[in-house]
Each structure stands twice: as structure tokens, then as C-alpha cells.
Amino acid sequence: MTENSSARSPLTSSVTLHSALLAAAVLLLAVLGVVTQLSLDTARRNEVQRALHDTERNTQKLAVRVGEVLDRVDQTTLLVKSLHETGNPMSLSGLRAAGLVTLDTTRALLITDRRGVVQESTSPDVVLNLADEDDFKRHLHDPAVGLSIGAPQPDHLNGGWMLPVMRRLTHDGQFDGVVVAMLDPGSLTKGFDQGEAPGTVITVIGLDNINRSRRLDGSVSFGEKVDAQKVLQRSHKIRETLQPFYSQVDGTARFFTALPIDRYPMVAVVAVTADAVTAGYQQTRLRLLGWSAAVALLIVFGTLVLWRQARGLDSSRREARRAKALYVATLDGSLDALWLMRAERDASGQTHDFVITDANRRAGAMLGLDPAAMIGRRATELVPSIREDGLLNLLLTVLQRQKPMDVEAQAVATSMRGRWMHFQVVPVEEGVALITRDIDDRKRAEAQLADIARRDALTQLPNRRHFEEQLELAAARAQRSGRPMALVYLDLDGFKRVNDTLGHEAGDRLLISVALRLTACVRVTDLVSRLGGDEFTVILEESGTAEDRLQLCERILAQLSEPHVLAGQATVSTPSLGMAVYLPGESLDSLRKRADGAMYDAKRAGKACLRIAASASTAG
């Protein structure tokens, strides 16, 4: 029996070894499948996120462009309204001759009387009566309506389409007609599809669910019904799920970004076809599948070889040594620091510490120790700070829950203090594995990208987004402290003339020069921002007395009125300044409007001067 047992022992060992080899092959193939799928998912996610980042940037540009076009129209209608209501009306031709009205994106500008009959127009080819128009009726019956942006309508006289932008006129408080700017709706999206992939849609949708301008592959359409709120919701959903939606208009699957347009009831949308977004991913997918197939063949081939080699004990031992060498090479070749730890329990069975059972070279380099010197030592002995920074609690939590966890935090240990690290803890038999990666460079890069998103590319000043954020914070601090905070709006006089006569490059140099001078004029605690074009702002926190604020504004006025050397010649572009002091409890919209209104008062007063806004109650 003893002999028979001895005779069967090698056979039993052989069967066990062959079973182990087969199980290992199946496991490797399963891991390969999982890794391949994860790699494919990651490649697709990265491709989609990159495309969404591009569409968000293009959508922001589109929203800014549309806002600037409508701002110019808004300023034109406000000017006509102001002159009409102050009893100093000028003809539209007179306003154009004086350079106060430009029609760069406007087909026609017209004024009606209270019955809707057109009294004056910059173009003879317009309808003569607007009394039946819905927007005219809204202005007639509702004094609260400000600037209305109507639905696109066909131009029966000239062909094409028009977008009516209308503002109410009054006389002695009574309705006295409207001023209407007839825009070319195609101008809202013109040029934004250049360089885009085929099938890319550039759209401006009104919150009334009517499409104002939809540009696709060079053609423009108007007036389609599109649910704007649903578009905004789906844009958010796309960022969460990274899955495309099918267009309500043409049924094409697209990834898109939708953003509200500041100050106007419209939404800017840039949509890219799913095929264009995933084109690069499809190539990556083919490569990954090819590599996975090759690796799978290697695994199968290797298993067959090991199967044959497993017939002898020497072969098994060689394979064991080979596997150990591979483990060591993988462990030490890793770019991450890795510690394997065994849980150490007290008399009651509660884990109170961990003992290092293995560590790679990267782990030793991170602590300045030889890896062998760490084996057998307690984790709290090697790095006492893990009790303070919460890492010990993370290890205990993973051991208790038996689920991997990870966290990003700044290191407390002396050798790595202050650096951002990624800690991943994975439960293993009788303990945990701690995988640590230095991500400080990535964190710094993310911080730099966040700074770029809030900075004007030309002047390097904070942009509108950063200005809005800081204005809200400054107002909150002023509300708490009771110290006065002021807001200055600044616009360059004759900036368009510089662009027209010396070129846009000279205009850019002028803006940079103004930014430098303006920053030099104010205190380090003040925030200078560029909102866009030639419009700048200054937030003055703890601005002192009225005399202090006046002196600072006069210094700005004097410095910016000095000549700038552009294109080899001295050029003067004076500023018009408007200042408003923040009133406790005042809305930021009111503060901005008062400062902006004061700036336009300065322009109307002859430019190159300062006007201080009255308080909200006085102004009202």
C-alpha cells in the first residue's frame, strides 16, 4: 500500500499542477479581457471628454460672440430710446453720420410710431407697418418688456430671413412706438463651422424653444422648434454619461455642449457627430484588440509549453523561479510605491497596526530606506504621521470592509511633505496592499489650467468669469466688514478708430498697454479685469473715502490719457470711467448697471472723464 501510494503521488501532483496551470491560463485570459475592456472604455472616455472639452470651448466662444452682437444692438436701441425720450431725437441717418450707430450685423434699423407705422428706416426695403407683429403688441401692452428678440421671419422684400430685435419707446411715460433692429440671423453663427468635422451643428436657440440660427455643413436654417431646457438637460447628461443624444431635428447622434448666453434668453449649442468624436477611438480599438489577440495567443502558447514542462519536478521548479523573478521585476519596475502589510492585532483581536511584509524600491526611495530594512517593521514606526493624516484609518477601513479605496491628499511625512499623493489601498489576505503615486505635477498642471480658464489670453488680466466670481466674494466681504467697496467700469474712447486705421494688431497692443498702465495705477488689493473688447473693470475693496476713490480714478484717467506708441506713432485713446459704490444689500446686477450707466454718462458728457453713479435709491 505504501508502494502504491508512492506510485500514485507523482501522478496526483502532476494532475494538480496541470489543473493549476489551466486555471492560471483561464485567469490570465480573463484578466486580459478585463484589462482590454477597461483600456477600451478608458480610450473612449478620454476621446469623448477631449471632444466635449473642445465643444465647451467653442460653445463659450459662440456664446460670447452672440452676446457681443446683441450687446451692440442693445446699445444702439438704448441710444435711440434715450435720445427719443429726452426730447433730443436725431434721425437714424444723423446717428450713422455721427458714428453713433453702426450696422455691421444689422440689415436695417427702423422706428415706428405708437400705431406701428414705420416713421424712419435705414433701408427703404422694409415693411411699413408692424402693428400686427406679436413683439410689437407685447411692447404696446407691457411696459416691463425690455429688449425683445423675436423669432426669425422671412424677408419678403429682399429674400432671406430677418431676426427682429425690438425696444419700446415712450413719451411722457406713454407708449410712443418701438425701435427695431433687423438682424441677419445667419450672422450669429457665421464662421463658427470652419475647420469643424462634417456634420457639426452650430446653433443658437431661444428660451422660447425657437431656433434662431442653425448652421450645418455651410447651410443655415431658422425657426425650427427645439426644447431649449431639454437641450440644456441633455448637455449635462452627456457630461455625466459620456453618451450621445439623437438630434430632434435630423435624428443624428451627436455629442454637444449647451450654454446659456449671458444677459439674453438664448442658448448656444455646438454639437459634433458621434462618428466624428469616436473616429480616433475606433482606430485605437482595432489596435488594442489586435494586441489583446496577440497576447491571448501568447498566453495559450505559454500555457501549452508549461503544460509539457510541468512533467518534471525540475521544470516545475524552474517555472517557479521564473514566476518569482517576474514578480520581483514587476514589483521593482513599478512607477508606484507598493507596500504589502499584514494586520497586527491586540489581545482582543482588534487590529491596531500593520507590519510590512514586502515593499518595492520605489517605496524605499520614497521613505529614504532600503526596502529590506522595512520588512518586519510596523507602519506607524516607519511613518508616525499616518496617525495624524488619516492614512491609518484608511488602512483599517479597507481591512474591515474588504473593498478597495483610494484618496488624494497632501503628504505629511517629512520627506514628501506638502506634495500631492494618490493613495490606493487594496485588501489582501491577512492585510492590505498600499499603492502610492506622486501626483504633484498633475495637480499643479490642473491648477494652471484652472488659472488659464479665468484669464484673458491677450492681456493676461482676469476675464469676465473670474471678475464675476471675485465681485461676488468682494461684495460679501464688504457686507460683513462694512468697509466701502467700489466698482469702476472703463471703456476706451476711439478704440474702433485705432483698429480701423492702424489695424487689429495695433489694437491688441493698445489693449495690452492699457492693461499694464491700469494695473500700475491701482493697489495690489484691487482687481483689474478685462470683460471683452475695450471694456475693463476695477474692483476697489476697502476703497476708503470718496476723496480716496476720486484720486485713484483721476490717476487712472491721467495715465491712460497719455499717448501710446503704436505702429511707430503716438496714439491717444482716452478712457471714459464710471464708478459705483456698493450699497449694503444691493444686488450685484444693480451695482454693475449703475457703474456701466455712469460710464455711458461719461461718454455722453464728452468722453475722457469720470462719472460717479448715484445711489440705487437716488437713481431710481
Q: Is the dihedral of CA 95, 99, 100, 106 positive or negative?
A: positive
Domain assignment present for 525? yes
For residues 491 and 596, membership in a common domain is answered with yes
For 565, the domain range is 454-619
Q: Is the dihedral of CA 76, 147, 209, 253 positive or negative?
A: positive
Sort strands 420-428 and 405-410 into parallel, antiparallel or unpaired: antiparallel
Domain assignment present for 598? yes
> How many CB atoms are closer than 10 A to CB 303?
16
Q: Please tell me the predicted confidence (pLDDT) of residue 210.
A: 92
Burial readout 428-453 (b: 16 or more C-beta within 10 A, e: otherwise): eeebbbbbbbbeeeebeeeeeeeeee
Domain assignment present for 176? no
- Looking up residue 576, the CATH number of its domain turns out to be 3.30.70.270
Per-residue pLDDT tens over the stretch 506-564: 999 999 999 999 999 999 999 999 999 999 999 999 999 999 999 999 999 999 999 99
Q: Please tell me the predicted confidence (pLDDT) of residue 282.
A: 86
Domain assignment present for 202? no
Return the half-sphere exposure (C-beta side, CA atoms, 13 A cut-off) of residue 206: 18
> How many CB atoms are closer than 10 A to CB 534?
21
Q: Please tell me the predicted confidence (pLDDT) of residue 2.
A: 38
Q: Estimate to the nearest angstrom the gap between the alpha carbon of 254 and the chain centroid.
A: 19
Q: Is the dihedral of CA 323, 325, 326, 331 positive or negative?
A: positive
For residues 530 and 408, membership in a common domain is answered with no
Q: Enumerate the β-bridge partners of residue 378.
A: 355
Question: Total structural domains in the chain?
Answer: 2
Domain assignment present for 402? yes
Which ranges of the chain have pLDDT less than 50?
Answer: 1-8, 618-620
- Distance CA(343)–CA(502), nearest Å, equals 75
Q: Please tell me the predicted confidence (pLDDT) of residue 324.
A: 65
For residues 468 and 429, membership in a common domain is answered with no
Closest CA to 484 of 550, 537, 529, 554: 550
Name the one residue in this structure whose C-alpha cell is 488619516.
390
Domain assignment present for 529? yes
Q: Please tell me the predicted confidence (pLDDT) of residue 315.
A: 62
- Distance CA(204)–CA(184), nearest Å, equals 13
Q: Please tell me the predicted confidence (pLDDT) of residue 366.
A: 78
- Looking up residue 391, the CATH number of its domain turns out to be 3.30.450.20
Q: Please tell me the predicted confidence (pLDDT) of residue 83.
A: 84
Q: Please tell me the predicted confidence (pLDDT) of residue 516.
A: 95
- Distance CA(224)–CA(216), nearest Å, equals 13
Domain assignment present for 578? yes
Q: Please tell me the predicted confidence (pLDDT) of residue 370.
A: 85
For residues 485 and 405, membership in a common domain is answered with no
For residues 586 and 482, membership in a common domain is answered with yes
Q: Please tell me the predicted confidence (pLDDT) of residue 6.
A: 44
Classify burial at 172, counting beta carbons within 10 Å of its beta carbon; exposed 0-12, middle 13-18, buried 19 or more. exposed
For residues 510 and 553, membership in a common domain is answered with yes
Report the chain's C-alpha Rg in angstroms. 35
What DSSP assignment string belongs to 480-541? HH----EEEEEEETTHHHHHHHH-HHHHHHHHHHHHHHHHHHS-TTSEEEEEETTEEEEEET
Phi then psi for 539, rounded to 5 degrees? -95, 120
Sheet containing 535-540: give its strands across.
527-532, 535-540, 486-492, 575-581, 610-612
For residues 392 and 533, membership in a common domain is answered with no
Nearest 5°: CA angle at 428, between 423 and 432? 40
Domain assignment present for 82? no
For residues 431 and 508, membership in a common domain is answered with no
> How many CB atoms are closer than 10 A to CB 53?
11
Q: Please tell me the predicted confidence (pLDDT) of residue 120.
A: 87
